[in-house]
């Protein structure tokens, strides 16, 4: 059974952009496209840690391979309302080669970093499988005189 994860309203715009970017770069004919792009983004970020200030979706892409999120425990805190960084931070691990960069972002753009972490968290839990439609008692009408193509 598929579990529906509700995306908080405060993340919908950024998540939409993040999802679109990640999906557009996940090319089965060129499997290295996404990883190469993410590596290049992080190199840019590492040189200029505030380059993606105000662009949480791009920041999330740039750090997605450099952070480890304990989503199981992060899911236990209330995320429907925008949490504080201090609530999110205990569930984040940072790769050694990204610590200086992430610390700089945390110092000067904490809100962007928190949003980027939450985007990654929800993306990792995102299931693109369509939910099964609920049965509609009025959907099927037995009427032999209709001219409608049921397979249209």
Helices 56-63 and 32-47 meet at what angle, rounded to 10? 110
Phi, psi of 109 (to 5 degrees): -145, 55
Share the mean pLDDT of the chain: 86
CA distance 88 to 108: 17
Question: Is residue 134 in a domain?
Answer: no
pTM: 0.79
Question: Is residue 142 in a domain?
Answer: no
48 three-class SS: coil
pLDDT reported for residue 1: 33
96-123 confidence digits (pLDDT tens): 999 999 999 999 999 999 999 999 999 9
Instruction: Domain of residue 107: give its range.
Output: 9-125
Q: Give me the number of domains the chain comprises.
A: 1
| Whole-number CA gyration radius for the chain | 20
| ∠ Cα 101 106 59 (to 5°) | 65
pLDDT reported for residue 3: 43
Q: How many helices (H) and strands (E) does the chain have?
A: 7, 2
Question: Is residue 24 in a domain?
Answer: yes
* Nearest in space to 100 (alpha carbons), one of 52, 63, 71: 63
The answer to whether the beta carbons of residues 2 and 127 sit under 8 Å apart is yes
33 three-class SS: helix
Number of neighbours of residue 37 by Cβ within 10 angstroms: 16
Q: How confident is the model at residue 6 (pLDDT cuts 50, 70, 90)?
A: confident
All residues at 6 or more sequence positions from 82 whose CB lies less than 8 Å from its CB, including other chains = 8, 10
CA distance 106 to 94: 12
């Amino acid at each position: 059974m598929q579990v529906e994860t509700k995306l908080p309203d405060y993340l919908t715009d950024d998540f939409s952009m993040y999802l679109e970017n990640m999906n557009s770069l996940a090319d089965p004919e060129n499997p290295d496209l996404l990883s190469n792009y993410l590596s290049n983004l992080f190199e840019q970020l590492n040189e200029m840690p505030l380059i993606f200030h105000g662009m949480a979706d791009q920041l999330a892409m740039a750090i997605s391979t450099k952070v480890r999120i304990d989503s199981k425990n992060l899911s236990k805190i209330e995320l429907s309302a925008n949490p504080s960084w201090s609530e999110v931070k205990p569930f984040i691990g940072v790769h050694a080669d990204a610590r200086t960069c992430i610390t700089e972002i945390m110092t000067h753009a904490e809100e962007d970093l928190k949003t980027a972490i939450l985007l990654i968290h929800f993306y990792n839990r995102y299931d693109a499988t369509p939910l099964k439609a609920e049965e509609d008692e009025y959907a099927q009408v037995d009427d032999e005189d209709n001219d409608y193509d049921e397979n249209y």
